[in-house]
Structure 1
Amino acid sequence: MSASNPQPTTNHVAVLAFPFGSHAGPLLTLVRKLSDAAPHLRFSFLSTAKSNDSVFSSIGVDRVKRFDVGDGLPEGYVYGQGKQLKVMELFLEGAEERFKKGMETAASEMGEEIGCLISDAFYWFVGEMAEEMKVGWVALWTSGPRPLLVHLCMDLIRKHIDINSCESREKPLEFLPGFSSIQGADLPEEILSPNLDSPFTNLLNKMSHHLPKATSVLINSFEQIDSQIHDQLNSSLQNYLNIGPLTVLSPSPPPSDDHNCLLWLDNQPPNSVVYISFGGFLSLPPHELTALADALQESQIPFLWSFRGNPEEELPKRLLESGKGKIVPWAPQGQILMHSSVGAFMTHGGWNSVLESIVGGVPMIGRPFLGDQRLNLKTVENVWGIGVGLEGGFVTKSGVLKALGLVLDSEKGKLTREKVEILRGLAHKAAESTTGSSSRNFIRLLEIVTRSI
């Protein structure tokens, strides 16, 4: 891969993003900070047009040029509810070749060969690209430390757990240090999948074998959140660096609050509001939406709900007319979770949401959907003690009422708030300029990237 007039040296870094969920945003935040710290570097950011439109519209970036790669969808493909996983699978088919073509275009347009690759950790094939190009590979893991460790230990876990036995899945993972309060059933489903050839499971399986070869593995976390797990990862990976929380280490300009969420929160008592958001990738099924609406109406607890859908069609009219809450299509989540009136966060357990809740000092109520979310929320509840899960893992009226009572109005809730406040302090300390562990790790990362090119 070469430009038409390649230069003898290069300051060009190619960045390969995973365009689903909340993956691309943290990667662009990291690149923006690298760009600010090393103005001589030039970055080409490669993702799908839809993903690039989303992240570049909210974050202004100098010295970073976007390049759109194909999404792998057939012409005329219609997006729709329930198709998210299929869209992801279609993208993964042929993604490696589309990224190679995208980097060729980037090298040509930038007039400079690529000297370093930074990618989402999912992309195991970037390691092979880097080896072929004789450049460094820096991989960003956008979830938490425990999901990363269990993926690296996938072969070991499958030796200890019978994937066809429910009884085996319900046993604690005593063979993994620090996992005695976690069961096999809490793991990402890909770890114990009977079909290792499915696109996403195959991707993660290959990732677990390639990541130890990366020049550096980054994580959007901080060392003090789970020191025992940090030590295990540090011994397994080269230049394993906690460089988070990125929202604190490299804060972006506050997003617009078009729906006046913060103004509405200003008029609520301290620690009284439950903020509800299940991310932008999946949504609750109709019967769970009804159960949640019934629980909110009976509890009379003020709520702010970031709702992806049509509330007039999907939520009971009595809730919409109750006057106890505010339902919006989008909300500035990071700012909301730092508002003094928010006392609980009902979440799907995506890592970005967990981190933002910790940074804001808000206890969580968890309803996971897929991937790392169950493990994240079990860690929140069983290891850190900064939240509770819904009974059975699903939304029921009684389960929501019980969880709200525990978090907002009980001695356990008071202890939970104290524990999350401790983690909040550690997160902010880690990101302190020059002295914090994440800040020092970022300086080390900058040295690795500049040395690599």
Structure 2
Amino acid sequence: MANAGDRRQHHLVLVPCPYQGHLNPMLQLGAALQSTGSFSVTVAHTEFHFPNQSSPPHFDFLPLPDGLSDADKSSRDFVSQILKLNVNCKASFHESLTRLRERTDRQDEIACIIYDGLMYFAEEVARELKIPCIVFRTCSAANTSTYNEYNRLQEEGFIPLQDSKALELVPGLHPLRFKDFPLYKFEGSEKLLPLLKRSNQVGSSVAYLLNTIECLEESPLMKLRQEYPVPFFAIGPLHKIAPPLSSSLIEEDESCITWLNKQAKNSTLYVSLGSVASIDEKEFVEMAWGLANCEQPFLWVVRPGLVRGSDAIDRLPNGFAEIVGERGRVIKWAPQQKVLAHESVGAFWSHCGWNSSLESISEGVPMICTPCFGDQRVNARYLSHVWKVGLLLEDMERGEIERAIKKLMAGEEGEITRQRMTDLKREVMHSIKEGGSSYNSLHELVKYINSL
């Protein structure tokens, strides 16, 4: 590792999107770059969901006034929130950067701005201030590539998506079906489509970063490199490359690790549908009884807001706790990376967000895939159909749930799936070692930024 005192240190400004699944990889990227000794890091973050400034301790934080009302902040309309942030934050970011440049000397000048593609106001400001910028997408390469096809699919009459074509393969995007598209059954798609198109434009950006791995997504990455005229850097899984840090917006219940210590190796199902996805009360009840009837130990994350319109942990069905006893543990939020690394965890029932998918692959934990919206459907298709390290479970019915859990955790097919995941983990972990693709990409990125 380079010594920061041995050479000139440049200043990076990171602009994350203010949701857990976007914040984590952006801070991990900052920590990975900072650890090379080449950069100091400032995180320009909206006041909305502003993170704990004590963790990570070595970043400077720049609050951006965002103009969101209380109603905006409590809304479940994430597309509208993001659109408003892009309008409201541009002027405050421009002003904050101008002041920041005035305060810094030439030894700590801003080398570039790295922004989440959904926070495209940062690219506009960087262009106006003539600061190099780099776009960072926190989703998979496969999902990113779908965005570039929307215009073509609209012209060919496939969008709006029709239920009658749900199971048909999308022309030019094998192996995705129309039902795997982020737009499929998404309320408010008339606002989402323009947002996705805008967020995927590089504009004045001089490079494109993705939290992925060459061995996982060789074909989608090749497609993207042909479509964009800028260098591509696949640097993942970032949570394994970066120094350890905690950036959870929800308090983690560490006591679950003590409970996991009492369970047998590979015996426990970890269940979490992420920080944003929600289900209705009927689906929640079916989940509960599927878990109660499966006869496997389980750790179930039931965060506030998981069930639409209620604090779900108080809605567990009558008799559930008596049947489950000590075999199950229900908590509000888990230290997920620690849980997946625990030897007692034998499978992960997930919404298949990209961070969760990468974390599960990195620990060799096979998955039950229940995508809820957006890129989760693309990820689930790759996990279950391409890499074949997960089982797709879309029918939230207790019998189907019980069968899926038993198939993955106690059946022959589960053993085969587990072995595939173990093999995939080996490839992924090789990529972050010296000479591996992600290791090389990180060091090439450092050289590239220093050359700007």
TM-score range, shorter chain: 0.7 to 0.9
Structure 1 counterpart of 2:333, from 330, 335, 357 = 330
Q: Work out whether residues 193 and 201 of structure 1, in 8 Å CA contact, stay in contact via their aligned partners in 2.
A: no
Q: Is the partner of 2:329 in helix, strand or coil?
A: strand
Post-superposition Cα deviations, 1:224-265, rounded to whole Å, max 9, x if no partner, equal 012222221222232111111011111415799744222211
Q: Judge conservation of contact 2:352–2:379 (CA < 8 Å) in 1.
A: yes
How far the C-alpha of 1:413 sits from its partner, in A, is 1.1
Are residues 304 and 38 of structure 1, via their aligned partners in 2, closer, same or farther at CA, if it must alter by over 3 Å?
same
Mapping 1:244-323, distance limit 5 Å: 244-253=236-245, 258-309=253-304, 310=311, 312-321=313-322, 322-323=324-325
What is the distance in 2 between the residues matched to 1:360 and 1:161? 42
Tell whether the 8 Å contact from 1:158 to 1:192 is kept in structure 2 after alignment: no
2:56 equivalent in structure 1: 59
Amino acid at match of 2:446: L
Report if aligned partners of 1:161, 1:168 keep a CA contact under 8 Å in 2.
no
What is the letter of the counterpart of residue 53 of structure 1? P
1:283–1:308 Cα contact (<8 Å) kept: no
Contact 1:124 1:203 in 2 (8 A): no
Between the aligned partners of 1:32 and 1:141, the Cα distance in structure 2 is 17
> In the alignment, is the contact (CA less than 8 A) between 1:346 and 1:367 conserved in 2?
yes
Match for residue 6 of structure 1? none
Distance 1:89 1:254 in 2: 28
Tell me the distance in 2 between the aligned counterparts of 1:132 and 1:78.
28
Greater Cα shift, 82-91 or 231-240: 82-91
Deviation at 1:144, TM superposition (A): 0.8
Displacement of 1:430: 0.5
**Is residue 146 of structure 2 the alignment partner of residue 150 of structure 1?**
yes
Change (3 A) 1:341 1:81: farther
Tell me what 1:106 maps to.
100
Match of 2:180 among 153, 177, 186: 186
- TM-score by structure 2 length? 0.87
CA distance in 2, matches of 1:149, 1:260: 40
How much has 1:79 moved relative to structure 2?
Answer: 5.1
Deviations 1:79-104 (A, max 9, x none): 54745555444434423333223323
Describe the superposition over 1:38-75 as per-residue Cα deviations: whole angstroms up to 9, x where unpaired.
34x33221112343324x44423x2x21011123312x
- What residue identity is the alignment partner of 1:319? F
* 1:243 aligned onto 2:235: yes
Structure 1 residue 412, shift from structure 2 partner: 1.5
CA spacing shift, 1:71–1:278, aligned 2, 3 Å? farther
For the 8 Å contact 2:87–2:121, the answer to whether it is kept is no
Letter in 1 for 2:13: A
Moved over 6 A (4+): 190-194, 254-257
Is 1:205 aligned to residue 203 of structure 2?
no
* One-letter amino acid of the structure 1 residue matched with residue 199 of structure 2: M
How does the TM-score come out when normalised to structure 1? Answer: 0.87
Distance 1:155 1:312, change over 3 A: closer
Q: 1:90 to 1:135 in 2, by over 3 A?
A: closer
Q: Whole-Å Cα distance in 1 between the matches of residues 72 and 15 of structure 2?
A: 25
Counterpart of 1:5 in structure 2 is: none
1:46 maps onto 2:40 in alignment: no
On the 8 A contact 2:86/2:120 being kept in 1, the answer is: no
Deviating more after overlay: 43-52 vs 15-24 = 43-52
Other-structure match for 2:445: 445
Match of 2:222 in 1: 231
Shift of 1:190: 7.7
Q: CA deviation at 1:304?
A: 0.4
Q: 1: distance between equivalents of 2:75 and 2:130?
A: 42
CA RMSD, 1 decimal: 2.7
CA distance in 1, matches of 2:335, 2:216: 25
Q: CA deviation at 1:221?
A: 1.0
Among all aligned residue pairs of Structure 1 and Structure 2, give the percentage whose two residues are the same amino acid. 25
> In the TM superposition, what whole-angstrom CA distance separates every residue of 1:375-433 from its partner, at most 9, and x where no partner exists?
1111111111111121xx2422122112112211222211111111111111111111x
Structure 1, residues 163-194: CA drift from partner, whole Å, max 9, x if none? 24333443202423xx1x32112111189999
The answer for the alignment partner of 2:129 in structure 1 is: 133
